[in-house]
Amino acid sequence: MIPTIGLTESHASPEADKSVLEIWGRSTLKGHVRISGAKNSALAIMAGALLCPEDCRLRNVPSLADVASMSQILLALGLKLEKNGDILDIDARNIRQSQAPYELVSQLRASFFVIGPMLARLGVAKVPLPGGCAIGARPVDLHVRGLQAMGADVQIEHGIVHAYVSGSNPRLKGANIYLDYPSVGATETLMMAATLADGETIIENAAQEPEVADLANFCQAMGARIRGAGTNTIIIDGMKRLHSVDYNIIPDRIEAGTFLVAGAITHSELSVSPIVPDHLTAVISKLRAIGAKVITESPNCLRIIGAESHIATDIETLPYPGFPTDMQAQFMALLTLSDGDSVITETVFENRLRHVAELNRMGADIRVKGNHAIVRGVPMLSGAPVVATDLRASAALVLAGLAAEGKTTIKALQHLDRGYENLVAKLQNVGARLQRLEGEGETESPSTSLNPANVA
Ligand code: UD1
């Protein structure tokens, strides 16, 4: 039996976060970066642990603010959790609460995904409408309609989604569900719900992201019957009960992609592992298109060799296997310094171009027209004080700072903490000059105050 404990990760509220990141750019990077477990897999799989009436052991769980938030939600529902390094033990024998707390759900959109497994296991779930990154409206209509197709009654009152299955034996029923859009979250919610439903569920136009396949593998390791995850049609045969599991989460393709861009934008050579190269096909293809070399060193390791100068390319974000929206901002930073004009089209989320204004403060030449950003390459960026607006925008500013002349100071690091484990240390290890100051501060000059070897 796992004891109930408080998790050690702190999760500073956005308002309280006064820390800043200072970066002195133009260093050449060299070496190897170890890639952590995938944030988006970990969050979905933690929600999936609600399906399991026994112990779950998750390995390769990254230490991130989002993981801490999801842990807090599971604790609030009455689960027992214990995290040691990258191992997270979850005991979901007793779910004592059917209502997820608003303060926590509002901080993390992925926490809405608990609605599927809770409903499947308890026949009732009350989950506030979610929050998360400020990158668009991000509705949950596809989740709700899918659950209704499986026999759930769903009402939304006072900002809370109240779903329940009526009858003396409250069990969801298998259904044929066509998603109007291949939403990652809706596919995950419905796939989890279907594992314990009565009969067969078919999800068509399902999301094909590797994290969906990872969640399916996790559910299968608990005894669920799922076929087709990773394709656009997923078929789930509902079971009465799932069992305990010991599961290893896949590497984070977005973290890996971010470090590959770090190698390119600094004209450096970096290797990243462990990774699954197939998960990065679109990213690798664009890196090669702009002139960077990407070499497969081994089945789970890639090396990037940045070119002296890169050339412009157009990018359109799409559901997997298309180019990931979660890499759009980082590539925009890279293309600001490439020769020629690039057009970046964001099709997945509205309002996900807010980093443009901050990149322009650093000397980039980017114009926005609707969901297009026209990036005219400039010879140089210059360090500036900038504010991170969301998770991947923060990563883009870090990358721009690594390439810029002089000092860049990034505020609002709570976004970065949501999705990058040990980012500062990982960059320092490969020679970047940067430091995090807890509480706003000003460092005079890199030569006196910043020796990469002794910055914590
Ligand atoms: C997940 C990822 C996020 C990534 C995104 C797209 C997690 C925790 N987060 O987010 O990092 O950027 O996939 O790859 O896995 N939509 C609806 N109705 C719905 C659900 C979604 O209209 O019911 C829309 C959204 O507003 C958005 C688009 O579909 O415009 C894609 O959203 P979705 O795939 O659901 O993203 P998330 O699961 O929220």
Q: Is residue 200 domain-resident?
A: yes
Number of domains in the chain: 2
Q: In this structure, which residue's CA is closest to atom 17 in ligand 1? A: 139
Residue closest to 174 by CA, chosen among 142, 196, 197, 145: 197
Same-domain pairing of 266 and 232:
no
Q: Is residue 406 domain-resident?
A: yes
Of the chain, the percentage scoring pLDDT greater than 90 comes to 82
Question: Helix, strand or coil for residue 13?
Answer: coil
Same-domain pairing of 281 and 333:
yes
Q: Can you tell me the distance from the alpha carbon of 129 to that of 115, in angstroms, rounded to the nearest whole number?
A: 11
**pLDDT value for 16:** 52
Whole-prediction pTM value? 0.93
Q: Is residue 6 domain-resident?
A: no
Q: Is residue 216 domain-resident?
A: yes
CB neighbours of 76 closer than 8 A, spacing ≥ 6? 97, 100, 101, 104
Tell how strand 87-91 and strand 55-59 pair up: antiparallel
pLDDT level of residue 278 (50, 70, 90 thresholds): very high
Average pLDDT, the chain: 91
Q: Is residue 8 domain-resident?
A: no
Q: In this structure, which residue's CA is closest to atom 39 in ligand 1? A: 185
- For 38-76, write each residue's pLDDT tens digit: 999 999 999 999 999 999 999 999 999 999 999 999 999
Same-domain pairing of 301 and 424:
yes
Tokens of 22: 């200072």
**Catalytic residue selected from 52, 133, 219, 301:** 133
- First-to-last alpha carbon distance for the chain, in angstroms, is 37
Same-domain pairing of 214 and 278:
no
Same-domain pairing of 78 and 18:
no
Q: Is residue 4 domain-resident?
A: no
Same-domain pairing of 256 and 232:
no
- 277 lies in which domain range? 14-36+251-454
Same-domain pairing of 260 and 225:
no
**pLDDT value for 1:** 38
Cβ 179 under 6 angstroms from ligand 1: no
Same-domain pairing of 87 and 189:
yes
Last residue of a domain, one of 205, 233, 248: 248
Q: Which of 43, 115, 145, 184 for mutating ligand 1's site (highest number of atoms within 8 Å of CB)?
A: 184
Last residue of a domain, one of 225, 248, 271: 248
pLDDT level of residue 136 (50, 70, 90 thresholds): low
Q: What is the mean pLDDT of residues 187-204?
A: 98
Same-domain pairing of 292 and 350:
yes
Cβ 180 under 6 angstroms from ligand 1: no
- For 227-241, write each residue's pLDDT tens digit: 999 999 999 999 999
**pLDDT value for 97:** 87
**pLDDT value for 446:** 43
Residue 311, pLDDT above cutoff 60: yes
Same-domain pairing of 83 and 227:
yes
Same-domain pairing of 355 and 393:
yes
CATH number at residue 286: 3.65.10.10
Same-domain pairing of 257 and 328:
yes
Q: What is the mean pLDDT of residues 213-217?
A: 98
